[in-house]
Structure 1
């Protein structure tokens, strides 16, 4: 097992990465300090792992919410369903909400935990690669609105993140590829050596080589844990983790959360951010080409889906959480491993790129 710690003083917590961790009933039970437990999962994950987690928590008063899968379910209505389940459980202030699933489940469960009785304990059991390396770490919780992604939410740190890499065995290949986009992001924004390592292990990662996946997850989590410890509420450095996300979220929203997967949209968004950096004279074209080539090897899209208009995408980008008074702040780069927050990029440059 590998362990990474998110250093947040009294709220510090571990990220444990390894095979078979969901089978360690004693360790899971130790994370639940009160009597009431609500497990939030979805219809894809529940048949594989819900009974296992429920057995680990035998002796507690538990209930489960099984949501339909998909980004389109990350809504205020589903958030309300989880709150209703907490009420039906009689959950008190020492209750624990357990998120068993991918990023949608984690975001919904975490937001409910942040709001129930003004904040209760929360444990992340991510079962997708994307959730393991990104959404389960750092305490960002949210729901989507038709007008934009993650616009309603709260910062609420988990008590622990338990990433059982065996759950990746049942992950559809498309979802695995989508998670690798977020792994590539860490190399792109801060670690050129890790990016080169990914270039050398692309096929092993797609083949689900256990050692390669565990290393990629651990490196990604170490990077994110360090950034979160230094900038928990995204006032500065943490914004760099959104490389490709302003473009990617606009794509997801414009498609009604029913087109590209999140990681796929982020792959396209990273390529757009790299190309814009080159267009603005900030970065070499060769690095943008390397990024695109690696994403293609990982089976990810690198071009805008058809039917998305440039003006509509730009309008979606203006609702990005990094924007200030409607003015965009983009995460661009100076090349591999060197990302920056950039203000005042002319609309004409962005529209030219999107067209």
Structure 2
């Protein structure tokens, strides 16, 4: 005899949270953490960010009588793996972290992804807040709840959807940000303009000099515009059933390039090259006009992607087959069929699949420097 019992678990969870954008947000953070009233706050960051900002933040929290501690790991995408997660979890136990504790994810995209993933699995999940310190993390990884780590086969293969309790985007962190990291984040903001906001794209075209001078007004505007775009998409499609895939323009190719380089290449550079290649695919399919493709090409290159970048050295005619194979293993692929987000015009994209491998290879070669 077979017995069947249904476990009824129908319920709704409100995972809404605030994204706070401004300058010098320390007071906001302190007041909020006191009000949240967790048993302990553990800052999780990389060793470079710890020296720059982590130890200072810990001192501020302790000065304000907030029970806190810090855990750090070796910086770099190559350390965004399950071994690092395991060691952080062990360290959290040694420091007395419990289920009522809260993780403070401090740093760039790698730190935010790792810290968020740790929070999502430690003791079956504890709360966390995001404090991104790079432009890339501010407009991309800190928002939307995607957390995870890499495997040899690709980026973010192990991961969760876990929304933060709050995100603090403090413009002050950008004052000391190296130009290379500014370029890294700018690629994602240009992406937002291409997929959803032609006015943002035009603003960057006209104000690129101000952005590179770190003009606070210009930086604040492009960050707010980007946050609004990602917020609107995530609200409609949190788990990436379809609409949210549009945020991956440039990423299908970009992630493959990063993996091909053994993650020596910055994420923003991979996405920048990916946007050029995927725009070329759209153009060859007759979806994107020459003038729009050229505008995308020009702005991406003006924003920091030049022919001497290591990203161009990672891809060659000799490893095209491997590059395309990596794309077939992309998380968005369905039964091995690559899904591309392709631009139709500035501010508008479409999801396409079942493209010929030869078309992809030809488009890659079209974008690579000659000779």
TM over 0.5: yes
Determine helix, strand or coil for the equivalent of 2:345: coil
The equivalent residue for 2:242 is 236
Does the 8 A contact of 1:42 with 1:101 survive in 2? yes
SS in 1 for 2:129: strand
Deviation sequence 1:259-304 (CA, Å, 0-9, x none): x210011000001110100011111121111011111221224786
Q: Distance in 1 between matches of 2:341 and 2:29?
A: 42
Counterpart of 2:344?
Answer: 334
* Contact 1:28-1:56 within 8 A present in 2 as well: no
Deviation, structure 1 residue 329: 0.8
* Contact 2:182–2:212 under 8 Å retained in 1: yes
* 1:267-346 paired onto structure 2 within 5 Å: 267-301=272-306, 305-308=312-315, 309-346=319-356
2:20: which partner in 1? 16
Counterpart of 1:4? none
Instruction: Give the length in aligned residue pairs.
Output: 347
1:117 deviates by 1.6
Structure 1 unaligned blocks of 5 or more: 1-7
Alpha carbons 1:183, 1:220 under 8 Å: kept: yes
Find the residue that maps to 2:158 and give its secondary structure: strand
What is the RMSD of the two structures over their aligned residues, measured on CA atoms?
Answer: 1.7
Q: Is 1:155 matched with 2:161?
A: yes
Which whole-Å CA distance do the structure 2 matches of 1:236 and 1:278 have between them? 23
Structure 1, 138-147 or 55-64: larger mean CA deviation: 55-64
| CA deviation map 1:62-94 (0-9, x unaligned) | 221122221111111111121112211222211
Contact 1:332 1:341 in 2 (8 A): yes
Show the counterpart of 1:5. none
| Offset at residue 53 of structure 1 (A) | 2.0
Report the Cα offset of residue 15 of structure 1.
Answer: 0.8
Q: Which runs of 5+ in 2 are unaligned?
A: 1-11, 366-371
* Distance in 2 between residues matched to 1:162 and 1:25, nearest whole Å: 8
Residues of 1 paired with 2:85 and 2:56: CA distance?
Answer: 24
Residue 46 of structure 2 contacts residue 111 of structure 2 at CA under 8 Å; is this kept in 1?
Answer: yes
Which residue of structure 1 lines up, in the alignment, with residue 261 of structure 2?
Answer: 255
Please name the residue that 1:135 is paired with. 141
Deviations along 1:312-338, one digit per CA (max 9) or x if unpaired, are 100010111110111111111112111
Aligned to 2:313, what secondary structure does the other structure show? coil
8 Å CA contact retained: 1:188, 1:338: yes
User: How has the CA–CA distance of structure 1 residues 151 and 89 changed in structure 2, closer, same or farther, with 3 Å as cutoff?
Assistant: same
Distance 1:335 1:31, change over 3 A: farther
Question: Could you tell me how far apart the structure 2 residues matched to 1:271 and 1:140 are?
Answer: 25
SS in 1 for 2:323: helix
Counterpart residue number, 1:106? 112
Q: Tell me the secondary structure at the aligned position of residue 216 of structure 1.
A: helix
CA distance in 2, matches of 1:55, 1:307: 42
1:82-140 deviation line (CA, Å, top 9, x unaligned): 11122112222111011110000000000000001211101000000000000000000
Q: Distance in 2 between matches of 1:22 and 1:150?
A: 31
